[in-house]
Amino acid sequence: MSLKNNIKVSVLGATGMVGQNCLRLLENHPWFHVVDVAASKHSAGKTYTNAVSGKWVMESDIPDAVSNLIVRNVHDFASIPGDVNCVFSALDLEEKQDTRDFEFGYAQKGYAVISTSSANRQIHDVPMIIPEINADHTDVIPIQQKNRNLPSSGFVAVKPNCSIQSYIVVLAALKQAGFPVGRAQVTTLQALSGAGYKALTNPDLKENVVPYIGGEEEKTEKEPLKIFGQVTDDGIVQSTSLIINALCTRVPVVDGHTAVVHIGFSDKTPSLEKFKSILSSFAAEPQSLCLPSAPENPIIVLDKIDRPQPKLDRDEGNGMTVTVGRIAEDDFFDIRFIGLSHNTVRGAAGGAILMGELLVQKGFIHGK
């Protein structure tokens, strides 16, 4: 069996919503095989099925391969199976610094850490990757390892916030085609699942719109600047060529983040037909590498006046495709559109797995 096809992985925070989705998506994965699940001390020692009893929220059943695994305490390194060398972390500790230290604790032990947490996103030597946009930011991993005296197999890489996923790939496609965006006004309509299991069962969020989500606007405005930044000898320097202003809201939708986006171009403005053509034809490294989780079409343009809609369109490309519609000229900016992405797939577990596949292909993760 090829080493690429036999990579043993652990999922940290496996009992939470993102962890569950990660396990669902990893079932029958051609490269990654889950041999370890970990969570808090309250779940440790139980079978995975017992640990998620009453809390399993995926539509599909618990994968057979993990149902009887004994949940490990995430802080217990001694009982990690010896053949694990990559962990998908869907865990946030109470304090961000604790999460940073926790993730680098695994990296110090020689594990490749692929995290969905926000704790390390703004750390200059930690790559924050959307594989279709900044696959080259994997170049910062050797710098991180040198800066922090990590073993050659250990590092931390993170995925960005789910709130930016429904529009940032559009900006990347335009930039690649020679039409860089200089400013954007973004209003997000974010699904309940983005706030975890408790939000889905919170009666205050039903039939309601909450016009503020703590920390989301700052993430929405700042994270794209790092993604579009440049790798230097010391780490990643953020882009200064883009300004984003964001307003983030929570809406009573289970899955699927929508964004209303108004953009102004730095130089020339494409026609609407050119704009649509750029998006529809966009492809990048994950597509050329044929990574297992990469959608054939990263962006799909919908012409119907009432699309995209979360219920109808969030599952395009197995939840990894961004759908775009309502494209029109704008009186205050240049062009406006509505984007939609699946927040717990592309925006969380699926995006992390795709990043893991990219890191395998680039030689940063190996099987044992």
Instruction: Find tokens 């809609």 and name the residue.
Output: 309
Say if strands 7-12 and 32-39 run parallel, antiparallel, or are unpaired.
parallel
Q: Determine if residue 215 is left, alpha or beta; phi over 0 gives left, psi from -120 to 50 gives alpha, anything else beta.
A: left
Residue 47 DSSP symbol: B
Instruction: Find tokens 């990660």 and name the residue.
Output: 22
Name the catalytic one among 162, 248, 262, 342. Answer: 162
Give catalytic status of residue 366 as yes or no.
no
Instruction: Find tokens 């990043």 and name the residue.
Output: 355
Q: Measuring CA to CA, which residue among 116, 84, 159 is closest to residue 355? A: 159
Task: Give the bridge partners for 328, in sequence order.
Answer: 336
Task: Give the bridge partners for 339, in sequence order.
Answer: 259, 324
Name the catalytic one among 137, 257, 262, 342. Answer: 257
The whole-angstrom distance between residue 153's C-alpha and the CA centroid of its chain comes to 22
How far, CA to CA in Å, does 179 sit from each of 170, 268, 328? 11, 6, 16
Give catalytic status of residue 29 as yes or no.
no
The residues carrying an active-site annotation are: 162, 257
